[in-house]
Amino acid sequence: MKAYKFEVRITILLTVLFLLAGNVALIFSIFPVEGYLFGFPIMYIVPILSGWFGIFILTIVASRLGNRIDEEIEKENKHQKTLGKEKNSEEGA
Amino acid sequence: MGEEAWQLSNPLLGIAAIVVTFLLFYVVGYISNRKSTSVTDLYVAGASIGPLTNGLAMAATYMSLATFLGITALILQLQVPFIMLWIQLILSIPLITIIYGTSLRRMGAFSPTHFIRERYGLSASIIAALFMILVSIMYSLGQMIGIALAFETVLGIPYLTGLIAGGLIIVGYITIGGMAGASNNAAIQMVIIALMFIVPLGAIMKAVGGSGWFFPPLLYADMVPAMLEAMPNFFDYQFSPKWYVSLIGLTIGSLGLPHLAMRIYTASSLKSARSAMVWFAFIIGLVFSATYAMGFVGVYATETQGVAISPGDADKLTLILNLVYNPEWVTALVIAGAISAGLSTLSGNLLAIGALLSQDIVTTLKPGLKQKTKMKLGYAAIFAGGIISILLAINPPAFLVVSILWAFGLAGVTNAPLIIVGVWWKEANKFGAIAASVIGGAVYIIVSPFVFPNIVLTGHSVTDGMGLSGAMLAIPLSFILLIIVSYITNRIPQLSAKLTTKEDHALIERIHGWKDIHPKRYNSTAGAAITVIFFAVIAIWAIMPWNM
């Protein structure tokens, strides 16, 4: 169940992070801020930067974690298989 | 400058640019298609595409004509809120990949509907496929309108003539090309789209006095003070947080788009699909940011430079800016780029229609069909889908993006919940799926302004037309119905006897990569209950007054 919990938690966490990074405007619509960044109003440029570089960075993280989830599941599959064989040989003996 | 007919004074330039672009696509399509021998090759190119090519192809499929024409028009109309709306659309492929794409690829599914058939059975999959055909047609409609506008600008011909001539050429290309041609082409198209959009944008920026013309997507801050002086409310958010919450409906909608998910199945491995997602995010972020810059410059030009654009010409903003500030041959290249963008998305849409009709409906009903007949049927469906979208585009809505985003919402209501819940919750069953798809879909269609103009949620035409308000009600409804109906029917012996529960559980475990079945995995009642409560709150909020 360890790999399963890892898979579910990571998927929920990444989904939430992706939604937040892609919807910074929603956060600003609730908590407006004043001021400028790089010459643009903060509430304009931050959602754009987050919607590009924020998402890009998250895809790199998601890609690595996705590969790790596969490895963890594979590991647990092998473990179950070994347990099954041991059980069979014990029953046979 | 008054109202005028925007067109190239030398149509030959435009024709030459389009012919050269098409020749390139035909050649690549022909070479790739020689390898396409089976129906699998036609749709998913034998699952052999590398991550960069696939990432570019994903971006090109997503990067529709809306990028060139539609978005800028609505930035002109709605200003910054529309930019904020568009930003979250980048989430499509990343979320598809992490939530269900890799699982469906592991299963060897052709399309999301294929998964729905395996998971929920025949009836649910046919209903989903019918809705998906409607989604793909509405999506194609927006592209067809853009193609007609592009041809209109090149040749100075009436809209209808442009629609029929341009539409037929493109539908012909796609019918001949298949997905292998489309994938390789889409990669080339993406490069062309990026170059033909960003380079001319730099030139326009330079002409209106911007100093950051060498990197237009982000370097236009020096134009901000003049913009604020001419249009002080350009950067205003205008709408309440509720409007911004409703945008998440589009994100969920993009998870249900059949032609996008298909790109994940063309990857050569799961790792490759994930790498393609990274390339996709980088490329799409670049082009999206350039589009916002084009919208900004468009509004800037109308507010400070005296460029007058009539409401009817809003969708042509990008082309008009090029006509005003760049040499004609540049506009010709931009038009070729716009048509490429429409072409790649249309090919994705029409191939999805082909797959839906031949694989998901006809083959399901008549499994004994020969491979050759299936191929022929696929080609016929692709062609028919194209013709229908041409016919619908004869009397187009005011903005081409409206039909595209409405299609997103419909996909989010009728398809996405079935896939997401189906992949992550074993209890989901065919009764829940059918209820969710049919009732959710019907509610979404009823509250859209296209069927009953008086039954709408906000009264704000663009918000209702784009399906934002409808999706905020119907998507939660669909999730709730799927979960509650499944939960109840699983506990009614007469109904649960009709289900293939054991096989469904095995399928879910297998597509997540498990070799055994564990009753506690993907079976959380608490998780389902939280989802129902969360979506119930959203649905109630959606029917409360929007005050727009």
Residue range(s) defining the domain that contains residue A76? 2-92
Of A11, A41, A55, the CB nearest to B281: A55
A-facing residues of B in 192-231 (CB < 8 A) are 218, 221-222, 224
Closest-CA distance, B497 to chain A, in angstroms, reads 29
Question: Are B250 and B322 a contacting pair, CB within 8 Å?
Answer: no
> Number of structural domains, chain A?
1
Which pLDDT score is estimated for B29?
66
CB of B286 less than 8 A from some CB of A? yes
**B513: Cβ contacts below 8 Å, ≥ 6 apart:** A70, A73, A74, A77, B106
Question: Are B91 and A19 a contacting pair, CB within 8 Å?
Answer: yes
Question: Are B48 and B32 a contacting pair, CB within 8 Å?
Answer: no
Q: Which chain A residue shows the shortest CA-CA distance from B106?
A: A70
- Which stretches within B34-158 are classed as H helix? 39-44, 51-62, 65, 71-78, 80-87, 92-96, 102-107, 112-120, 122-155
**B391: Cβ contacts below 8 Å, ≥ 6 apart:** none
**A81: Cβ contacts below 8 Å, ≥ 6 apart:** B515
Could you tell me the two tokens for B82? 């529309």
Which pLDDT score is estimated for B185?
66
Q: What share of chain B is helix, strand, coil (3-state, %, to 5)?
A: 75, 0, 25
**B295: Cβ contacts below 8 Å, ≥ 6 apart:** B71, B72, B75, B76, B82, B83, B317
Residue with tokens 């995010």: B281
| Cβ neighbour number for residue A75 with a 10 Å cutoff | 12
Of A53, A63, A81, the CB nearest to B275: A63
CA atoms within 13 A on the CB side of A4: 18
Could you tell me the two tokens for B65? 């004509």
CB of A71 less than 8 A from some CB of B? no
Which residue, among A4, A16, A48, A61, would best test binding to B if mutated, counting the most B CBs under 10 Å from its CB? A48
Question: Are B137 and B388 a contacting pair, CB within 8 Å?
Answer: yes
C-alpha–C-alpha distance, residues B303 and B234, integer Å: 10
Size of interface A-B (CB pairs under 8 A): 134
**Distances from the Cα of B88 to the Cαs of A19, B171, B220, B295, B535, in angstroms?**
8, 30, 22, 17, 20
Which pLDDT score is estimated for B281?
95
Give the angle B209-B212-B216 at the CA atoms, nearest 5°: 105
Q: Would the pLDDT of A22 be above 90?
A: yes
Q: Where are the domains of chain B?
A: 11-543
Question: Are B90 and B285 a contacting pair, CB within 8 Å?
Answer: yes
Question: Are B257 and B139 a contacting pair, CB within 8 Å?
Answer: yes
ipTM over 0.90: yes
A59, B94: Cβ pair inside 8 Å? Answer: yes
Could you tell me the two tokens for B14? 């435009």
B277, A80: Cβ pair inside 8 Å? Answer: no
CB of B510 less than 8 A from some CB of A? no
Does CATH number 1.20.1730.10 belong to domain B11-543? yes
C-alpha–C-alpha distance, residues B47 and B41, integer Å: 8
Give the angle B251-B252-B258 at the CA atoms, nearest 5°: 100
CB of A56 less than 8 A from some CB of B? yes
Could you tell me the two tokens for B226? 């003049």
CA dihedral B415, B420, B424, B425 (to 10 degrees): -50
The two most distant CA atoms of chain A are separated, in Å, by: 77
**Distances from the Cα of B184 to the Cαs of B55, B57, B179, in angstroms?**
11, 7, 9
Burial class (CB in 10 A: 0-12, 13-18, 19+), B67: buried
| Cβ neighbour number for residue A32 with a 10 Å cutoff | 10
Which pLDDT score is estimated for B121?
92
Of A24, A32, A66, the CB nearest to B274: A66
B222, A26: Cβ pair inside 8 Å? Answer: no
C-alpha–C-alpha distance, residues A77 and A83, integer Å: 10
Mean predicted lDDT score pLDDT of chain A: 91
Torsional class of B121: left (φ above 0), alpha (ψ -120 to 50), beta (otherwise): left
Which pLDDT score is estimated for B179?
47
CB of A11 less than 8 A from some CB of B? yes
**Distances from the Cα of B330 to the Cαs of B197, B202, B203, B325, in angstroms?**
10, 12, 10, 10
B98, A14: Cβ pair inside 8 Å? Answer: yes
Closest-CA distance, B220 to chain A, in angstroms, reads 9
C-alpha–C-alpha distance, residues B212 and B220, integer Å: 6
pLDDT per 10-residue tile (average), chain B, 548 residues? 66 85 74 56 55 83 79 89 94 93 83 87 92 89 87 85 88 68 66 85 92 93 94 93 95 84 75 90 94 93 87 84 89 85 80 81 81 82 88 81 90 95 95 97 92 85 90 97 97 93 93 91 95 97 91
B91, A53: Cβ pair inside 8 Å? Answer: no
Nearest CA among B442, B437, B444 for reference residue B419: B437
| Cβ neighbour number for residue B371 with a 10 Å cutoff | 11
A56, B278: Cβ pair inside 8 Å? Answer: yes
Which residue, among B250, B278, B288, would best test binding to A if mutated, counting the most A CBs under 10 Å from its CB? B278
For B512, which DSSP code?
A: T
Residues of A in contact with B237 (CB under 8 A): 25, 28-29, 32, 43
C-alpha–C-alpha distance, residues B92 and B85, integer Å: 13
Nearest CA among A56, A40, A19 for reference residue B244: A19
Question: Are B264 and B356 a contacting pair, CB within 8 Å?
Answer: no
